[in-house]
């Protein structure tokens, strides 16, 4: 298919996203093509590892292609979106649990759905241009594609900060927060991929890794922990409003643009997930509770209208005063019964 190039080269299964003009945004068909390839290669002795990369300098993958989601949802057809998210989340779990090494090269922007395919593998490479973010609250969703697992495991309260603000992480930040493993200069990537294809051996990645830039998040973590330690979104906003720190000012500016119900649910989700029994599947199942309801009861369609369709950047959010009742959060995250996300292979 024209949007993705899937092949075997040497000892490697190769998946290259080929939509650079669209920032390599993921379509449903692309997700299913990746899913099929990974399942075929899982038992193939000719494939020692999988390499994920993308064409273009601007983005590995800037997210999911949401045009079809909006077009169907605005007509009251929520099933297409629910199917898209369900099958995408199953792919995210497949990558996370894959029995062979999965090496991803994350140049430029890696956001939203790009995090789901690029940040769950065993070896995640960033370079000078890499920027990783979870901006879903700005379109009425929550951080998903399994990203709540990484947010819940990030140091201190970085998860709440990254999830509610959509802050763009640089290379050092991404490694510190647990979204990447190695910093390798971009100029070395082409030769490195050729060596991986020839050898099927990932040990060379550590040898090529360079010292990443200092993490700004690590430097700011004491202030972030103090401000984002609240039990609810309201607690966090109250603390931020009384802080004199520059981080708090910038966080408020970012959060003012986002859907309050999305941010409130993000905070609640991370609190629920931070238990000794946390798994990727539990994170995905909880995320699906929200996305299943996002079109019908959340702010998703309004968020897309304001950002992508009309481009007026003035969404009319629910709970615009940012006072989100606990019952509204509970309704968005309550179990789905027979509609719950499952992971059976078909």
Q: Tens digits of per-residue pLDDT, 228-260?
A: 999 999 999 999 999 999 999 999 999 999 999
CA distance 10 to 14: 10
CA distance 153 to 146: 12
pLDDT digits (tens, 9 = 90+) for 24-64: 999 999 999 999 999 999 999 999 999 999 999 999 999 98
Q: Which letter does DSSP use for residue 20 in this model? A: G
Our answer to whether residue 112 is catalytic in this structure is: no
Q: Is the pLDDT of residue 345 over 80?
A: no
Which residue among 48, 65, 144, 268 is the active-site one?
144
CA distance 194 to 134: 31
The answer to whether 153 and 128 have CB atoms below 8 angstroms apart is no
The pLDDT of residue 2 is: 86
Q: Is the pLDDT of residue 1 over 80?
A: no
Calculate mean pLDDT across residues 5-28: 97
Assessment of whether the complete model's pTM goes beyond 0.85:
yes
Q: Is the pLDDT of residue 65 over 90?
A: no
Calculate mean pLDDT across residues 261-271: 98
Our answer to whether residue 144 is catalytic in this structure is: yes
Calculate mean pLDDT across residues 336-346: 90
Superfamily of segment(s) 4-339: 2-enoyl-CoA Hydratase; Chain A, domain 1 (3.90.226.10)
Instruction: Report the chain's mean pLDDT, rounded to a whole number.
Output: 97
Q: Directed axis angle between helix 233-241 and helix 260-273, to 10°? A: 110
**What's the length of the chain?**
346
Q: How many CA atoms lie within 13 A of 122 on its CB side?
A: 15
Q: Which letter does DSSP use for residue 306 in this model? A: I
Calculate mean pLDDT across residues 295-309: 95
pLDDT digits (tens, 9 = 90+) for 135-173: 999 999 999 999 999 999 999 999 999 999 999 999 999
Instruction: Give 296's pLDDT tier (boundaries 50, 70, 90).
Output: very high
Give bridge partners of residue 125 from the DSSP assignment.
105, 182
pLDDT digits (tens, 9 = 90+) for 117-127: 999 999 999 99
- Count, in order, helices (H) and strands (E) of the chain: 16, 9
Our answer to whether residue 113 is catalytic in this structure is: yes
Q: Is the pLDDT of residue 346 over 80?
A: no
Tokens 């609640």 -> residue? 268
The pLDDT of residue 344 is: 83
Q: How much of the chain, in percent, has pLDDT values that exceed 90?
A: 97
Which residue among 13, 63, 64, 172 is the active-site one?
64
CB atoms under 10 Å from CB of 113, counted, come to 29
Instruction: Give 66's pLDDT tier (boundaries 50, 70, 90).
Output: confident
Tokens 């193939």 -> residue? 44
Q: Is the pLDDT of residue 189 over 80?
A: yes
CA distance 106 to 60: 5
Our answer to whether residue 285 is catalytic in this structure is: no
**Structural domain spans, the chain:** 4-339
């Amino acid at each position: 298919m024209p949007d993705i190039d899937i092949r075997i080269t040497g000892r490697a299964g190769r998946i290259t996203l080929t939509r650079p003009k669209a920032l390599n945004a993921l379509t449903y068909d692309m997700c299913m093509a990746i899913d099929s390839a990974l399942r075929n290669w899982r038992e193939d002795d000719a494939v020692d590892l999988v390499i994920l990369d993308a064409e273009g300098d601007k983005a590995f993958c800037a997210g999911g292609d949401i045009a079809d989601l909006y077009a169907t949802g605005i007509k009251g057809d929520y099933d297409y979106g629910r199917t898209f998210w369900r099958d995408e989340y199953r792919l995210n779990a497949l990558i996370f649990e894959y029995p062979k090494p999965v090496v991803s090269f994350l140049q430029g922007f890696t956001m939203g759905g790009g995090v789901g395919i690029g940040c769950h593998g065993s070896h995640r490479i960033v370079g000078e241009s890499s920027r990783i973010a979870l901006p879903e609250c700005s379109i009425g969703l929550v951080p998903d594609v399994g990203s709540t697992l990484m947010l819940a495991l990030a140091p201190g309260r970085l998860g709440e900060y990254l999830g509610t603000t959509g802050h763009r992480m640089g290379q050092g930040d991404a490694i510190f927060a647990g979204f990447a493993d190695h910093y390798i200069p971009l100029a070395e990537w082409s030769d490195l991929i050729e060596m991986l294809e020839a050898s099927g051996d990932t040990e060379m990645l550590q040898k090529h890794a360079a010292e990443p830039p200092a993490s700004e998040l690590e430097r700011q973590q004491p202030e972030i922990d103090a401000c984002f330690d609240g039990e609810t979104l309201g607690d966090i906003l109250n603390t931020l409003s009384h802080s004199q720190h520059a981080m708090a000012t910038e966080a408020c500016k970012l959060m003012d643009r986002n859907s309050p119900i999305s941010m409130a649910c993000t905070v609640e989700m991370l609190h629920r997930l931070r238990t000794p029994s946390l798994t990727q599947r539990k994170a995905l199942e909880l995320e699906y509770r929200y996305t299943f309801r996002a079109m019908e009861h959340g702010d998703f369609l309004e968020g897309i209208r304001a950002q992508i369709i009309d481009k007026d950047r003035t969404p009319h959010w629910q709970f615009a005063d940012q006072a989100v009742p606990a019952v509204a959060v509970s309704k968005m995250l309550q179990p789905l019964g027979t509609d719950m996300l499952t992971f059976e292979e078909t």
